[in-house]
Amino acid sequence: MRFQTMLITSAASLTAASPAWAAGKGISLSNTDFVVFLGLAVFIGILIYFKVPGLLLGMLDKRAEGIKSELDEARALRDEAQTLLASYERKQREVQEQADRIVAAAKEEAGVAAEQARADLEVSLERRMAAAVEQIATAQGAALKEVRDQSVSVAIAVAREVIAQQMTAAQGNSLIDNAIMEVDAKLH
């Protein structure tokens, strides 16, 4: 009933304001403007009777809610991505700082190792120098001993020759007896 009242009221108001009414043709089925208006009014009435505008508005509301939920999800994903990006950037900075610390520690260890190697080399050189000096001293001592031994041997040989030429057999026997007596006295 309400629909019919609304339809009649709409038709009357539209008819009164229609250009055909103003031209004086009136309401009749031979008036094409009136027929078009009447078809439009019936169509709008059918749409309202079957609640098509409500359905359309409901569909639009659903679509708006879907878009809103998608936007909310997109915002949540963006926030999560930004959080992950910040986390990765923080981890990257931490890893870079750790790498810098490792490099610094390695440089420091290399410096310490170089200093230790330098000190070890100096100690080794000092030991080698001491060994070389000792070998030179030993060789010098051996050379001096050899020269002395040679000198003694030469002196003995020369003395023997000189003595052999100047001494007689009696004098030699007397020297041997004296030497035996000296040895005998020293031993007792």
Sole residue written with tokens 């030429």: 165
Give the predicted TM-score (pTM) of the model: 0.38
Cα torsion 164, 165, 171, 173: sign: positive
Distances (CA, A) of 2 to 8, 9, 33, 63: 10, 11, 26, 31
Q: Both ends of the chain: CA-CA distance in Å?
A: 171
Instruction: Give pLDDT tens digits along the chain (188 positions).
Output: 444 455 556 555 555 545 545 455 567 788 889 899 999 999 999 989 988 888 889 999 999 999 999 999 999 999 999 999 999 999 999 999 999 999 999 999 999 999 999 999 999 999 999 999 999 999 998 888 888 888 888 888 887 777 777 777 777 788 788 888 888 888 87
The closest of 180, 178, 159, 181 to 170, measured between CA atoms, is 178
Query: What is the helix (H) or strand (E) element at residue 74, kind and residue range?
Result: helix 52-166
* Residue indicated by tokens 């103003």: 22
Q: For residues 50 and 179, what is the distance between their CA atoms, to the nearest angstrom? A: 163
